[in-house]
């Protein structure tokens, strides 16, 4: 009888050990591991923060445990999201959350999954007690963490990219160490100075010879426009090429670049790079930006972006870069809202181009597009001018929707380039960064890594037309 009790007790202990191992090592990490692997972003295999969280529950401090678990969980989610869509402050995150109702269904499902998983975590952690398996596994985790901390180098990690190969790591420690992970920026608002960029943008010729620019100069930074095969690029750009002799001096190429949208903007507008994205209090360093240069030459300077001006502090640093006139989502009434990223629709914004040049003889117009933002919502495709099937691109995949949205943009742009108000205009269109595609294999198949395309042309003047 005693032997049977010992066996039963041993089985209970084994089951208990399996349960504790599941809660401490497997449960908090499996979904995040799948997400990071699928999207090609960095995350330690095991986040040590959940081991620390477990101590509150083991010693009966359940309310503190729930609070700390929620904090660690939020940091874990933001840690992953911030690598896909770098954002600046808590207010930015809350802004995104407030738009869940009008977001693509994919985001709604993910948001629901995140909430449900947090409640599941709480339920399992509340079952932890002060017993041998719990303490044994925590000691093991501590040893593994110390070993990983001393053995691996994470010097390649950046403010929105985790490059470490550590098996064990703390997301909280990493975030505080780097102090440039988006969520933490709200607690560390010290602006870092701008520095000269180590790469050349598509606007380099304009910086070299500003006196040779047309009185009508247009720069468009195209959201998530990537370098594809020549055949795909030809098809996406076909609305421009079909304008024939109305477009002259046309050139096309690509440039090496890796970074976020605001990095791409600084590259083209200022030939600068930034150590972080805190621009609100950064008042110097923009003096030599292209808008400031052109404004000194008598140009009226305009900027246009369909998102709110608070994103990446554009409402603050655009005027410092030299923009006299700035249009954001909140600055006027729009007939509708688009979905890939909540904001005004580019097909409506495009009329601002002709309006400006009908009222101003000498102007520099800068436009950062929006509707080709990841995840490329199909509801933003109104004019389908790209045939994915002919290029063996999976219909309704992210790659296909990205290409359709860019082809649509060039179609709408082509409809105004023959407007008399734009005659003689000099135009550059350039990608901000490589398009985020969740399927890393599809991305590698159709887009060149760390490279963005550009196209430069002039609209024929009457003498040439």
Which whole number is the average pLDDT over 89-101? 62
Give residue 301's pLDDT: 97
- Measured CA to CA, the distance from residue 438 to residue 443 in angstroms comes to 8
Question: Is the pLDDT at 64 greater than 70, yes or no?
Answer: yes
Give residue 278's pLDDT: 76
- Based on the domain organization, do 227 and 84 belong to the same domain? no
Give residue 268's pLDDT: 97
Helix (H) or strand (E) holding 222: strand 216-222
Residues 6+ apart with CB under 8 A from 150: none
- Based on the domain organization, do 46 and 135 belong to the same domain? yes
User: How many domains does one find in the chain?
Assistant: 2
Residue 284's domain spans which residues? 194-459
Write down the pTM of the prediction. Answer: 0.76
Query: Picking from 142-146, 223-227, 287-291, 310-314, which range would have the lowest pLDDT averaged per residue?
Result: 142-146
181-198 pLDDT, tens digit each: 444 444 444 556 788 888
Cis peptide, bond prior to residue 134, ω within 30 of zero:
no
Which whole number is the average pLDDT over 201-225? 94
Query: Picking from 72-81, 241-250, 327-336, which range would have the lowest pLDDT averaged per residue?
Result: 72-81
- What percent of the chain shows pLDDT beyond 70? 75
- Based on the domain organization, do 39 and 111 belong to the same domain? yes
Alpha helix stretches (DSSP H) within 198-333:
204-208, 230-236, 238-241, 261-270, 290-296, 314-321
Query: Picking from 107-121, 242-256, 362-376, 403-417, which range would have the lowest pLDDT averaged per residue?
Result: 107-121
- Measured CA to CA, the distance from residue 221 to residue 104 in angstroms comes to 24
- Based on the domain organization, do 183 and 240 belong to the same domain? no
Give residue 384's pLDDT: 95
Check residues 113 and 367 and name the one with the higher pLDDT.
367
- Based on the domain organization, do 396 and 435 belong to the same domain? yes
Question: Is the pLDDT at 98 greater than 70, yes or no?
Answer: no
- Based on the domain organization, do 367 and 390 belong to the same domain? yes
Alpha helix stretches (DSSP H) within 169-260:
171-178, 204-208, 230-236, 238-241
Look-up: residue for tokens 């080709």?
372
- Based on the domain organization, do 141 and 272 belong to the same domain? no
Please, which pLDDT band fits residue 153 given cuts at 50, 70 and 90? very low
Q: How many CA atoms lie within 13 A of 173 on its CB side?
A: 13
CATH number for 326 = 3.40.720.10
Domain-embedded: residue 465 = no
Other residues' Cβ atoms within 10 Å of the Cβ of residue 206: 21
Check residues 4 and 64 and name the one with the higher pLDDT.
64
Helix (H) or strand (E) holding 272: strand 272-274
Q: Which of 153, 187, 221 is the last residue of a domain?
A: 187
Domain-embedded: residue 267 = yes
347-393 pLDDT, tens digit each: 999 999 999 999 998 999 999 999 999 889 999 999 999 999 999 99
Question: Is the pLDDT at 159 greater than 80, yes or no?
Answer: no
């Amino acid at each position: 009888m005693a032997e049977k009790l010992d066996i039963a007790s041993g089985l209970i202990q084994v089951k208990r050990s399996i349960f504790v191992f599941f809660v401490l090592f497997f449960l908090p990490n499996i979904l995040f591991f799948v997400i990071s692997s699928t999207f090609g972003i960095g995350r330690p295999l095991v986040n040590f923060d959940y081991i620390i969280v477990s101590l509150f529950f083991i010693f009966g401090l359940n309310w503190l445990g729930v609070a700390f678990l929620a904090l660690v969980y939020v940091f874990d989610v933001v840690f992953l999201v911030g690598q896909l869509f770098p954002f600046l402050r808590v207010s930015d995150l809350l802004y995104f959350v407030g738009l869940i109702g009008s977001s693509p269904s994919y985001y709604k499902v993910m948001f629901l999954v995140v909430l449900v998983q947090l409640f599941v975590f709480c339920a399992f952690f509340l079952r932890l007690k002060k017993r041998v398996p719990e303490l044994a596994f925590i000691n093991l985790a501590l040893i593994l963490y110390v070993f990983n901390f001393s053995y691996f180098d994470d010097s390649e990690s950046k403010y929105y990219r985790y490059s470490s190969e550590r098996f064990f790591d703390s997301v909280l420690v990493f975030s505080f160490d780097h102090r440039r992970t988006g969520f933490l920026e709200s607690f560390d608002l010290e602006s870092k100075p701008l520095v000269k960029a180590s790469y050349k943008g598509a606007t380099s010729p304009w910086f070299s010879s500003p006196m040779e620019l047309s009185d009508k100069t247009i720069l468009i930074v195209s959201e998530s426009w990537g370098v594809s095969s020549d055949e795909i690029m030809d098809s996406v750009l076909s609305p421009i090429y079909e304008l024939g002799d109305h477009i002259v001096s046309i050139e096309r190429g690509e440039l090496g670049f890796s970074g976020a949208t605001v990095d791409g903007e600084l590259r083209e507008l200022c030939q600068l790079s930034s150590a972080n994205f805190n621009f609100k209090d950064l008042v110097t360093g923009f003096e030599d930006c292209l808008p400031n240069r052109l404004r000194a030459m008598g140009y009226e300077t305009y900027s246009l972006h369909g998102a709110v001006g608070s994103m990446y502090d554009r409402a603050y640093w655009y005027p410092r870069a030299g923009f006299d006139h700035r249009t954001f989502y909140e600055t006027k009434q729009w007939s509708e809202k688009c979905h890939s990223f909540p904001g005004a629709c580019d097909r409506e914004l495009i009329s601002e181009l002709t309006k400006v040049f009908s009222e101003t003889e000498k102007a520099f117009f800068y436009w950062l597009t929006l509707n080709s933002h990841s995840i490329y919502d199909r509801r933003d495709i109104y004019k389908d001018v790209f045939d994915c099937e002919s290029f063996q691109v999976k219909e309704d995949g992210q790659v296909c929707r990205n290409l359709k949205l860019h082809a649509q943009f060039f179609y709408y742009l082509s409809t105004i380039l023959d407007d008399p108000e734009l005659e003689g205009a000099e135009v550059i269109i350039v990608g901000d960064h490589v398009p985020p595609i969740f399927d890393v294999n599809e991305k590698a198949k159709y887009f060149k890594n760390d490279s963005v395309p550009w196209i430069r042309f002039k609209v024929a003047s009457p003498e040439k037309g």
